[in-house]
Amino acid sequence: MEKILYLAHVDPNGALPKVALEALNGALQTAKGMPGSTLVIGLIGENIQAAADSLAACGASKIFGVSGKDFGMARYATDVKAAEAIAKAAAATIIIAPATSRFARALPGAAFRLKAAIDTHVSGMTVTGGALQVQRWYYRQRMVATLSRTARPWILVVDSGVFPVWQGTKGSAKVEAVALTLTDKEKRTQVTGVQAPSADAQTIRPDAAVLFVAGAGWTKKQADGQTHVKDAEQLILGFLKNAKASLGSSKSLVDQGSEGEQVLSFMSHLNQVGQTGSTPRHPKGFSTCCHGEEPHVVGWRFINERRAVNIDANCGWAQGKADVLYVADAFAVVAKVNELLAKG
Ligand SMILES: Cc1cc2nc3c(=O)[nH]c(=O)nc-3n(C[C@H](O)[C@H](O)[C@H](O)COP(=O)(O)OP(=O)(O)OC[C@H]3O[C@@H](n4cnc5c(N)ncnc54)[C@H](O)[C@@H]3O)c2cc1C
């Protein structure tokens, strides 16, 4: 019988990250599909009681915890040790955890110590005939595999956006503290602060409802024979601000900087969507001045509703790759959309 451990860490404010609440739904669904299995929770962080109380009604039989000042920060040595100790205390055979940056770093190390198998970037979990099967993408999101393992313990690090956020009523939870002794060497690394770009400078927003993609057309000569890169910058930034959208790009646009052409100042290779770029997940996508060639569109795999604006009625988006294609000048369209968005 499987002993399922749902393992999570809390944020500095003591709350569980969104992706952790999503992974909890995955763990609950898995436990439900495996009659006779048990589900327990493991929490790591400086103060975990509030998070434990928030999960009191989820149906887990026990909550294990490793807490205290030493576990407030994301630190490989202490996170690995905490995860290992909780997994052993729970005698877990299957460990389901969220893909936070903290766990993405620490759990492969914990797997090594536990002599466990681990699968990261899990994008689906189902129980078929009593056996747990997980889904994972390979070869730059081009091939999806469904796999199962007999090795135990088996750690599954679940990506965001796979399960809905778990919601339940708060209660009063009893946490069983897992004892752990740390050496000075393990506490050597200190997080002294966080440096993050301001909200406006941060153009990649994984939780945004809309992905706005800018293509190379924004920097090309327009009908008047001139380029209008400064206008393009203002229009794109205006849309991002008004729609709180995430910014994606085609390869051609981000490559222009290295080729010495005039480029959009806020665009980097991190924005590139496609075969050799990223595969973001958003409910909607809006492509502008981008041709919609296959190596780019393959990165739209997880965008549910797709719209594009292009002056070329024969562009790639017209070949069944978008739900709606507006054959129009993106400069005019985005200016009008921004005007409407600003009115609210
Ligand atoms: C191995 C390989 C990997 C690749 N990986 C990627 C990848 O990861 N991501 C990626 O994006 N590409 C990738 N590419 C490149 C890809 O094939 C295309 O070359 C690239 O996506 C083209 O970018 P674009 O559509 O922005 O530019 P262009 O092809 O130059 O298209 C610009 C578009 O803008 C339109 N336009 C111009 N002005 C306006 C206006 N005023 N209003 C509306 N529309 C306008 C034009 O009609 C045109 O369709 C890869 C290619 C290869 C070979």
Residues 169 and 66 in one domain: yes
Name which residue sits closest to atom 38 of ligand 1, judged by CA. Answer: 217
Residues 11 and 151 in one domain: yes
Give pLDDT, residue 257. 73
| Structural domain of 82 | 3-187
Name which residue sits closest to atom 41 of ligand 1, judged by CA. Answer: 329
User: Is 199 within a domain?
Assistant: no
Name which residue sits closest to atom 11 of ligand 1, judged by CA. Answer: 250
Residues 13 and 120 in one domain: yes
CA-to-CA distance for 317 and 324, rounded, in angstroms? 8
Residues 173 and 241 in one domain: no
Residues 85 and 172 in one domain: yes
Give pLDDT, residue 194. 82
User: Is 198 within a domain?
Assistant: no
Q: What is the pTM of this model?
A: 0.75
Residues 144 and 227 in one domain: no
User: Is 75 within a domain?
Assistant: yes
Strands (E) in 47-142, as ranges, are 62-67, 94-98, 117-122, 124-128, 131-138
Give pLDDT, residue 197. 66
Q: What is the β-pairing status of strands 124-128 and 94-98?
A: unpaired
Give pLDDT, residue 109. 98
Which strands sit side by side in the sheet containing 175-177, from one edge to the other?
Answer: 117-122, 154-158, 94-98, 3-9, 38-45, 62-67, 175-177
138 Cα–ligand 1 center, Å: 24
Residues 227 and 329 in one domain: yes
Identify the burial level of 318 via C-beta atoms within 10 angstroms of its C-beta, where 0-12 means exposed, 13-18 middle and 19 or more buried: middle
User: Is 117 within a domain?
Assistant: yes
Name which residue sits closest to atom 24 of ligand 1, judged by CA. Answer: 290
pLDDT digits (tens, 9 = 90+) for 263-316: 788 888 999 999 999 999 899 999 999 999 999 999 999 999 999 999 999 999
Output the CA angle 249-252-255, nearest 5 degrees.
Answer: 95
- Residue 158, ligand 1, Cβ within 6 A: no
CA-to-CA distance for 321 and 292, rounded, in angstroms? 8
Burial code of 229-241, b = ≥16 C-beta within 10 A, e = fewer?
A: beebbebbbbbbe
CA-to-CA distance for 89 and 5, rounded, in angstroms? 10
CA-to-CA distance for 121 and 206, rounded, in angstroms? 15
Residue 178 has pLDDT above 90, yes or no: yes
Number of compact structural domains in the chain: 2
CATH classification at residue 146: 3.40.50.620
- Residue 295, ligand 1, Cβ within 6 A: yes
Residues 115 and 250 in one domain: no
From the CB of residue 182, how many other CB atoms can be counted at a distance below 10 Å?
14
Residue 304's identity, in one-letter code, is N
Mutate to test the pocket of ligand 1, among 228, 251, 325 (most ligand atoms within 8 A of CB): 251
Residue 142 has pLDDT above 80, yes or no: no
295 Cα–ligand 1 center, Å: 9
Residues whose CB is less than 8 angstroms from the CB of residue 194 and which lie 6 or more positions away in sequence, other chains included: none
Per-residue DSSP letter, 160: T
Q: How many CA atoms lie within 13 A of 147 on its CB side?
A: 18
Residue 78 has pLDDT above 80, yes or no: yes
Residues forming a β-bridge with 308: 287, 325
For 75, phi and psi rounded to 5 degrees? -140, 125
Residue 67 has pLDDT above 70, yes or no: yes
Which strands sit side by side in the sheet containing 124-128, from one edge to the other?
Answer: 124-128, 131-138, 143-147
CATH classification at residue 299: 3.40.50.1220
- Residue 331, ligand 1, Cβ within 6 A: yes
Residue 199 has pLDDT above 70, yes or no: no
User: Is 290 within a domain?
Assistant: yes
Handedness of CA 107, 108, 112, 114 (dihedral sign): positive
Give pLDDT, residue 344. 77
Name which residue sits closest to atom 17 of ligand 1, judged by CA. Answer: 295
216 Cα–ligand 1 center, Å: 6
User: Is 201 within a domain?
Assistant: no
User: Is 200 within a domain?
Assistant: no
Residues 178 and 215 in one domain: no
Looking from the CA of residue 275, the nearest atom of ligand 1 is: 8
Residues 247 and 179 in one domain: no
From the CB of residue 85, how many other CB atoms can be counted at a distance below 10 Å?
20
- Residue 221, ligand 1, Cβ within 6 A: no
pLDDT digits (tens, 9 = 90+) for 308-341: 999 999 999 999 999 999 999 999 999 999 999 9
Cβ atoms of residues 213 and 288 within 8 Å: yes
Cβ atoms of residues 47 and 71 within 8 Å: no
Which structure tokens are listed for 328? 């129009």
Residues 148 and 220 in one domain: no
pLDDT digits (tens, 9 = 90+) for 236-275: 999 999 999 999 999 999 998 777 676 788 888 999 999 9
User: Is 152 within a domain?
Assistant: yes
- Residue 150's SS3 state is coil
pLDDT digits (tens, 9 = 90+) for 93-139: 999 999 999 999 999 999 999 999 999 999 999 999 889 999 998 87
Residues 104 and 21 in one domain: yes
293 or 193: which leads in pLDDT: 293
Per-residue DSSP letter, 272: B
Which structure tokens are listed for 229? 């890169």
CA-to-CA distance for 82 and 177, rounded, in angstroms? 11
CA-to-CA distance for 228 and 174, rounded, in angstroms? 62
Domain boundary among the residues 152, 187, 222 is at 187
Q: What mean pLDDT, rounded, does the chain reach?
A: 94
Cβ atoms of residues 232 and 268 within 8 Å: no
- Residue 311, ligand 1, Cβ within 6 A: yes
CA-to-CA distance for 230 and 247, rounded, in angstroms? 17
